[in-house]
Structures are given as C-alpha cells and as structure tokens.
C-alpha cells in the first residue's frame, strides 16, 4: 500500500506526529484514596498486580478485574507514605471512572476489613506528556505528585488541582504543544495504548489488551486470578490487540477479515500524520503475525485492505 507523506510545514495535524513534544490534560480524571490498616490486602485481592511491591518512588499499574477476569478499571497505584495521609494508598482510575469504582470497592469491603475508600478525584488533575514533552516534567515533586510511565509512549503526571494551570502554562511556555481531543486520540493509537471505552472494557481481559506489565504471575488469590492463570499457564490467550496499517480510514466496530473469514474487530481507528490510516484491532491468535493481509468491512462498495503490524506503530 502506498501512502502520501504529510508535509510537516503545511499539515495542520503535524503537532500529533510522533516525538513532537506534546501534552494533554485529561478530562474527568479519577483518583481514589484507600486507607486503613488492611488497605494493601484489600487492593491485593481485587487487582492483578502485586501491590506489596509498591514504594514511594515505584508506582505500579494494576487492573481491577471481574470474576471472569474482564477489565473493570485500570489503576495506577501510588504510595502516599510521605503525605499527610501516609497510612493510605492512592489509586489513579480510568478517566470518568472514579465515582463508579469507589462505589464498587465500597460494596466489596468485608465486615472485618479495616479499609476506607474515598473518591478524591476533585483534588487532582492529570496530564499525559509525550515526546520531548517528558523532559519538561517538573523535577521531584515541585508541581507533580506522581509520575507513571504509559504503555508505548509518554508519562502521566498527577498534579494537585490548584497547580494544574501553572503546569499547563509552564509546558506551553517551553514550547510543548497542548493536544486537542482528536490529536490525543491519534497519539494514543500510534502508541498502541488501549483506551477507555474502546479497549479497556469488560469485553476483554488484561492479557488480551497487552497489559502483562500490570499482571503478576506470582501473587496470591485475587478476583479473576483463575482465568488469568489458565491464560498464562496453558497459553490460552485466544485473541490480542494488534495494529493495522490500512489503505483508508475505517470505523470502530467494523469486522476484520482474513481470506474472507472473520478474524476480529476494529476497536479504534485514526488518520495519523506519520502513518496514514491506522487502527487498533482485536484479532484471533491465528491472525496475529505481522504482515498478515486483511480486509475491513466498510460502508463503501469495496472493503478496505490492510495488514497486521506490531505495536507501537513505527
């Protein structure tokens, strides 16, 4: 497939090109404070990663899963050991999920648990930084309380809400581009990062979304563990998130086919200034090899052609 190369001097989408210094302030950021003597044990039995490894300088990602190991939320877990609420743990939720996840956890506190769950979302802003924008992240905790690496590209900063405008001003003054919603979506897909309402839903398990870094294969029992353990032990991950390079833009939800047979589904699709039309898709394991030719159902007369590629896009 031949694709035109965008001219960065004229293409209005150029600020979304990979490696451009850029930032995005998340809408509806979620942040929970989980306190009490049993806080770590409580989180340990709810999510996929080993939070006993949590340290003040070592936040980690974990996934809140259902009994069938489907994704309910994806967490950045941070230590509050050096804060006023030092006997608590902070949890960064997916955008828009703070209140719902707090209610879910409150329903799962056992009678004898010494645990409190508070929705502290209003107290913090969250920024994703990309490319050279990462170099402009505040040193130490001058403005940003926590810094977590993102899958594929970038870092997430968690900032007390009263410092959010100051941080945004500093970044823009340093030449870091503020991304629109559309441009942020392009950067996310280019990085191969699963997103809320697209891939991080209860349609999928963490391993299907390439979230191995958020899953411990050595910790004890947690909700959904049996399913994930079988997927790991017996190589039972039957489908995976992959990238598609395409001849034209397609629609999320469209069927992906290989030699006319249904192979999976488009979950996200964008027009990238660097790569042209691209998509994230969940495909069955026999179709995951890079270079596999696909077609995608389209409202147009002809299906859109493309090929499977590894993530992130390069």
**Is the pLDDT reported for residue 1 higher than 90?**
no
Mean pLDDT of 24-43: 97
Which sign, positive or negative, has the C-alpha torsion 136, 190, 198, 268?
A: positive
Q: Which domains does the chain have, with CATH numbers?
A: 14-190 (3.30.1360.120), 238-314 (2.40.30.110)
Confidence of residue 152 (pLDDT cuts 50, 70, 90): confident
Q: For residues 101 and 64, is the Cβ–Cβ distance under 8 A?
A: yes
CA distance 51 to 38: 12
- Among residues 54, 31, 33, 34, which one has the least CA distance to residue 42? 34
The per-residue pLDDT for range 4-18, each reduced to its tens digit, is: 444 433 333 344 566
**Is the pLDDT reported for residue 174 higher than 60?**
yes
Mean pLDDT of 37-46: 95
Token pair 């877990």 in the structure block, residue: 77
Kindly report the pTM of this predicted structure. 0.91
């Amino acid at each position: 497939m031949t694709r035109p190369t965008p001219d960065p001097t004229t293409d209005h989408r150029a600020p979304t090109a990979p490696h451009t210094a850029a930032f995005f302030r998340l809408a509806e950021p979620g942040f929970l404070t989980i306190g009490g003597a049993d806080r770590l044990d409580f989180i340990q039995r709810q999510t996929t990663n080993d939070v006993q490894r949590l340290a003040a300088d070592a936040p980690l990602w974990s996934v809140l899963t259902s009994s069938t190991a489907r994704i309910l939320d994806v967490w950045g877990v941070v230590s509050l050991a050096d804060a006023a609420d030092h006997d608590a743990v902070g949890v960064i939720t997916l955008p828009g999920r703070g209140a719902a996840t707090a209610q879910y956890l409150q329903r799962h506190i056992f009678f004898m648990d010494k645990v409190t769950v508070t929705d502290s979302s209003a107290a913090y802003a969250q920024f994703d930084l990309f490319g050279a924008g990462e170099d402009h992240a505040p040193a130490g905790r001058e403005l940003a309380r926590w810094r977590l690496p993102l899958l594929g590209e970038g870092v997430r900063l968690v900032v007390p809400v009263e410092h959010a405008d100051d941080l945004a001003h500093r970044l823009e003054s340093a030449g870091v581009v503020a991304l629109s919603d559309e441009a942020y979506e392009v950067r996310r897909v280019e990085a191969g990062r699963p997103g809320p309402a697209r891939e991080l839903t209860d349609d999928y398990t963490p391993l299907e979304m390439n979230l191995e870094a958020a899953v411990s294969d050595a910790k004890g029992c947690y909700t959904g563990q049996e399913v994930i353990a079988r997927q790991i032990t017996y190589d039972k991950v039957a489908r995976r998130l992959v990238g598609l390079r395409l001849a034209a833009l397609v629609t999320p939800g469209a069927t992906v086919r290989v030699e006319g047979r249904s192979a999976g589904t488009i979950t996200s699709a964008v027009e990238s200034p660097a790569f042209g039309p691209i998509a994230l898709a969940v495909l069955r394991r026999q179709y995951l090899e890079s270079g596999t030719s696909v077609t995608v159902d389209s409202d147009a007369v002809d299906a859109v052609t493309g090929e499977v590629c590894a993530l992130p896009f390069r």
